[in-house]
A and B are shown apart, each in its own frame.
Chain A
Amino acid sequence: MSERDEKIERRLRHAGLWVGGGLLVELLTLPFAGPGAFLAFATFSGLGIAVGVFLYLRALVS
């Protein structure tokens, strides 16, 4: 495995952890309708997914 592949795969792993974390938070907040769930979704889930997608796209162009 080349160093380049290793670097891409490391970035994919990081992206996966962020996206996966964001998705799990979304899954936990979905059944609840209160402001706390709304806030958790908007901050933690939104942030996690956005960072993860960004890391994935960065891994693609690296």
Chain B
Amino acid sequence: MLTTGLLSSLILVDVVLIGWLVLRPELTRGQRGKMLAFCAFFVLPVLALVGGASEKMESSKTTEFCLSCHEMEPYGRSLYVDDEEYVPARHFQKRLIDRQVACFTCHTDYTMFGDLQAKLRGMRHVYVHYLGTIPEQIALYTPYQNRECLHCHAGARGFEESWAHEEDMGALVASEMSCLESGCHEVIHDAAALDELDLWEVPSHE
């Protein structure tokens, strides 16, 4: 993946080349000019577009990106609830997930095209944020799948050796029993109750 700095340099070089060829198009009459024009008008812009799209896609995974929309702010705050019962808060505070990509880690689908589907949903969210009507109650499109939990937890010793999990492992793997809705891990973001909850004060060195 091209870094932002490299990509910016490539764009600047291409803009200069294009400016030169736009001011002096007669240069493109010769063989070298034609090759230069091919690079300036086709190769470099396509590279810049693909590199830029890759950069933007990566940045759209970040927690900062998700929480930059004000309607997501309570969900971001809920990651700091000082109560282990809160599943996202526990994962976030104990660094069970990468904090930089906390939302994406739990809200992508771990299937072949899961990332793509998550990005398309994200595009829809961006559209609704700017041009649509934001629903009063934000909810998942479909019930949360055990697959997303098991992507990390399956095979982990703490999970496999827990008596509660051992007992129902077959039902959990087959999604016959929901991790979140079976009464075991049912406290999720609970954004509406945030004002009544204590929040973890992050130490200044964090």
Binding site for B on A (CB under 8 A): 1, 5, 8-9, 12-13, 15-17, 19-20, 22-24, 26-27, 29-31, 33-39, 41-42, 45-46, 49-50, 52-53, 56-57
Contact = CB atoms under 8 A, between A and B. Distances in A.
Which 8 A-B pairs have CB atoms at the shortest separation, nearest pair first?
A9-B25, A16-B22, A56-B41, A33-B59, A35-B126, A16-B18, A34-B68, A20-B18
Contacts of A42: 56, 123
Most B Cβ at <10 Å: residue of A27, A29, A36, A46? A27
Contacts of B52: 26, 29-30, 41, 45
Interface of B: 4, 7-8, 11-12, 14-15, 18-19, 21-22, 25-26, 28-29, 37, 40-42, 45-46, 48-49, 52-53, 55-56, 59-60, 62, 64-65, 68-69, 123, 125-126, 129-130
A27 B11 contact: yes
The B interface is mostly helix, strand or loop, or mixed, namely helix
